A and B are shown apart, each in its own frame.
Chain A
Amino acid sequence: MPDGSMVQGPVLRVEDLTVRFTRRDTDVAAVNGVNFSLNAGETLTILGESGSGKSVSLKAMMGLLPGYARIDGRIWLNGRDMLTLPEAELRKVRGGAISMIFQEPMAALDPVYTIGEQIAETIVQHEGCSKDTAWKRALGLLEQVKIPSAARRLKNYPHEMSGGMRQRAMIALALACSPSVLLADEPTTALDVTVQIQILLLLRQLQQELGMAIVFVTHDVGAAAEISDRIAVMYAGRFAETGTTRQIMRQPLHPYTKGLLASTVHGGMRGTRLETIPGSPPNLAHLPPGCAFAPRCRYAVDACRQGDIPVVTDETGHMARCVRVEEAVPA
């Protein structure tokens, strides 16, 4: 196998990723055709509905879904298809070339080991260095993510840390082996804004230094504006719209994106009723034909409720999966 870092072109390319959970009486279509590619040093942010398949997509890229998940498509990491790698290979890649900051640090950190033990163990496993070296690196990592009194915190068990500190420990763990792709699932949600901006600046800096590519999942439009080159908006297991950060924030095309931005709470909105998107998210066990957002969309016409919805992409790469957009923006 060639050294991954030497491969030209995108470091990560995802083609037609689908994930279904089929078990007992349930058949959940969690991811329904996700496509994107990412170059070194680039950040793609995935915004989207709660339950739209963001975490499941990231876990698929890490090879971390349960056995009953049916995964299709291709996930090329440095030119190798993650979905065909044998488990032993996958274990080397995971936490090495690709690593993940999980949405729920408590579920990802092992409660019976200290933070230091967990970080050092990861480094030893992937790089085969001495325990001593690994502990020194672990200390440096905790300092890098701005954990106060890092040396003492190395000896903390996860439950002895505040939510935000656990999240920073997770980030340190994910950065332990200088990954070429970092999957960050809501990494700053649990942090106060002073630390959030520190972490975002840190990720931006590491990205410049290491050329790391980042897939950043968040609900926070402000964080997305700070870190992303491009934004993808996900609904019911698909990208409904992708574009540059500016395009998505200033000229959103898809009605779901517009609804999402309109319901964001800004300053000075006290006493007003918040705008919401009417209706409820689709049942992933019975996705409607056509556009999954149509039942909630005020612009929906008959064409939205049948067949495959065409993807409209303009010359700048701004893409929307919407019938009505085609009327407005001739392809």
Chain B
Amino acid sequence: MSAALQIPLDPRDRGGPAQPLLLVENLRKHFPVRGGILNRQTATVQAVDDVSFSVRKGETLGIVGESGCGKSTTARLLMRLIEPDAGDVIFDGDAVGDRRGISVNDMRRQMQMVFQDSYTSLNPRMTMVESIAYAPRMHGTPRREAIDRAEMLLHRVGLNPRQYARRYPHELSGGQRQRVNIARALALEPRLVILDEAVAALDKSVEAQVLNLLGELKESLNLTYLFISHDLNVVEYMSDRVMVMYLGRVVEAGPVESIYRHPRHPYTRALFASKPTLDPDRRTTEMPLTGDPPNPINPPSGCRFRTRCAFAQPRCAERVPELLAPVAGDADASHVVACHVPEAQTPKHHTTEVGHA
């Protein structure tokens, strides 16, 4: 977009290509649950519990996992829309919110987010073009310039500014609103974009357009993505590495090929086995994953998946499994899994028969 960003080295780059753009260490968020007549805190939801990962410059990290496992909460913690209970977030070498690091405001200029709920994330009283131009204007871009750029961004996400620029959120379809949200996230020329179910509301041809567009923008603007989605095919298409979450914790992470070809955690295997068949003559008749998702207020001890896992052993209840590389020789050491069961630790085993409870 702007000429300055065309040159390969971003002037905002601090630590060079080897330094992760984002480093997350032991991130934790427990929400208080209130109840009773005095509305006292009666329990806590362990939404995000001890989550660590890193995102390299220029890569796309996909995040998948069960509904309610803490993906959006993780994203909101990174954006500091909610305060973490514990943990560090380090953006290009600078600790976010630390006196010697980077302020939350400066971080937000470089990190933007597209929210899952397209409706509530747009101001109902602003036209589309005003919504997109809003943040740049707050950061000092002159009005005319901000509006021109907003119209160009609308065009880039496939919405003709002449038709849509002056519409209000309720006058757009769900997919159209989501594209406006993408345009808005790009308006500040961020370095990292968190896409939380950003394409879920789009039809397949627009989705393909937006995914192609995200790919192009990534190249031309040197972007790094955190890509949260329930669509396993889209995550495979977009991501360089994938992280699998279950009930507030990371259970498996690694390069996309390795995760998709040799999923090792029983939950990951059940997840892949639940993909719709795409064949009306061979409909799914049984659920690959049975049992209720456990209660995040009082999660199982040890491995949180054990209550639904066909391979659970006594020690699964005793110790929290660590994220570890496989013990066997030829496997990719960057593919880590948190599971006590030896099958998960030796790669290249049956990939579908696991997880049927």
Residues of chain A whose beta carbon lies under 8 Å from any beta carbon of chain B: 21, 26, 28, 47-52, 55, 103-107, 146, 148-149, 152, 155, 160-165, 167-168, 186, 189-198, 200-201, 219-223, 225-226, 228, 245-246, 249, 259-261, 263-270, 273-277, 280, 283, 285
Contact = CB atoms under 8 A, between A and B. Distances in A.
B270 A194 contact: yes
A190 B205 CA distance: 19
A190 B173 contact: no
Given A50-B174, A194-B274, 12 more contacts: A55-B173, A163-B67, A165-B68, A189-B200, A191-B67, A194-B288, A201-B285, A226-B283, A265-B211, A267-B236, A269-B233, A273-B215
B119 A104 contact: yes
A148 B66 CA distance: 12
B72 A163 contact: yes
Contacts of A47: 203
A194 B290 CA distance: 9
A267 B201 contact: no
A246 B208 contact: no
A242 B304 CA distance: 45
Nearest to A264: B204
A104 B117 contact: yes
B292 A146 contact: yes
A104 B67 CA distance: 16
Nearest to A266: B233
B276 A222 contact: yes
B77 to A, nearest CB: 14
Residue among B120, B173, B289 with most chain A CB within 10 A = B173
A146 B119 CA distance: 25
A265 B207 contact: yes
A195 B66 contact: yes
Contacts of B237: 265, 269-270, 274
Contact of B297 (A149, A200, A260, A276): A149
A197 B119 contact: no
A161 to B, nearest CB: 8
A270 B211 CA distance: 12
Contacts of B72: 162-163
Contact of A274 (B212, B284, B288): B212
Contact of B203 (A104, A226, A260, A280): A260
A194 B289 contact: yes
17 contacts: A50-B176, A51-B173, A51-B176, A104-B174, A148-B293, A148-B294, A148-B295, A163-B197, A219-B203, A246-B280, A260-B204, A263-B205, A267-B233, A269-B237, A274-B209, A274-B211, A277-B205
A193 B64 CA distance: 10
B175 A51 contact: yes
Nearest to B162: A283
B117 A163 contact: yes
Contacts of B330: none
Interface in B284-322: 284-285, 287-289, 292-297
